[in-house]
Amino acid sequence: MKLSGLKYLTNQGIENIWKNKMMAFATFCVLLISLLLVGCAGLFYINMNSMILGLGNQNEIFVCLFPSTPQEYVEQVDSQIQQLDNVDSVVFIPKEEAYKRMQHQITQQGQEILRYIDDSEFMPDGFSVTVANNDKIGETTELIARIENVETAQSSLQVAEFLRELRRVVTLIAGAVIIALAVVSMIMISNTTKQSVYSRREEIQIMKYVGATNSFIRTPFFVEGMVTGFFAGAGAFFITWAVYKSVYDILMSQGMLMSAFGIGSLIPFNKIQIITAVAYLLIGSLVGAAGSTISTRHHLDV
């Protein structure tokens, strides 16, 4: 096909949107709603995942050194822990701090005993270590325990296991919901594009009678679907942006919720806006183009 021919067909595709504005608007709306449904489900999933990971990061490894470990060895241990792959942060807990913590944690009977101990010297220095990947907290704990001068390294594997299981369940449910929404969306899009094409079946037949090839007939429909899908993607992006930002601001203003449910780990929109925009525009354009082009197939057999 010559360049002039391609230009003509592209222009025809764009003009057809205006000429068939009612059907184009219907397709636009269906695409917009479908993209919003799937997009919001996707964003909900990645935020849930991030929240669970955030909760996991609060799961600490408590490291106790041997009592009376000299200061230079303490620093050496600190440095060796920092060098481990999965370690996110290392906070030194001096024996005095450890003693205070113990005071808060032990039972009433224990408190009675502590009355006779007014010195924290018997307590070891230690570290509180958080990990980047909570799933690997067990391995990291073992590695820390092997470091010289470390007496014990302990973490709550049950919490880690619970969070891992929670993530798996959330992933499965979100995956199923996204797939179901995608299928429903495809059916809605397919029906709308079919109707749009059906209303122009006579036009397609005329084109066939005058010797138009299938690709010649399909190209304007492809362009039309792609442009409609692109605008639906843009619309979905702006709606998502507005809603996401509002919900994010509301949740972030709830200080208690932030710490209790890991809401502090919610992803701010500016971190995902580019990938969201690209996904919406790309998927909108592709689905629009494919739906429109595939729907013409039935009418091409003349």
CB of 2 to other proteins, least distance (A): 5
Residues in the chain: 302
CB of 301 to other proteins, least distance (A): 9
Q: Which CB, 167 or 299, lies closer to other proteins?
A: 299
In the chain, the amino acid numbered 50 is S
CB of 25 to other proteins, least distance (A): 16
Cα–Cα distance, 121 to 136 (Å, whole number): 33
- Diameter of the chain by CA atoms? 104
Chain residues binding other proteins by CB under 8 A are 1-2, 4-5, 8, 16, 19-20, 202-203, 205-213, 216, 302
Q: Which CB, 103 or 205, lies closer to other proteins?
A: 205
What does the DSSP 8-state code read for residue 148? Answer: T
CB of 302 to other proteins, least distance (A): 6
Question: Can you give the C-alpha Rg of the chain in angstroms?
Answer: 30
Q: Which CB, 5 or 67, lies closer to other proteins?
A: 5
Joined tokens for residue 299: 């009418």
- State the angle between helix axes of 214-252 and 3-19 in degrees (0 to 180), rounded to the nearest 10: 60
Q: Which CB, 25 or 122, lies closer to other proteins?
A: 25
Q: Which CB, 4 or 253, lies closer to other proteins?
A: 4
Q: Which CB, 116 or 209, lies closer to other proteins?
A: 209
Other C-beta atoms closer than 10 Å to the C-beta of 123 total 20
Cα–Cα distance, 49 to 47 (Å, whole number): 5
CB of 228 to other proteins, least distance (A): 16
CB of 191 to other proteins, least distance (A): 22
**Residue 289 contacts residue 220 (beta carbons within 8 Å):** no
Three-state secondary-structure class, residue 1: coil
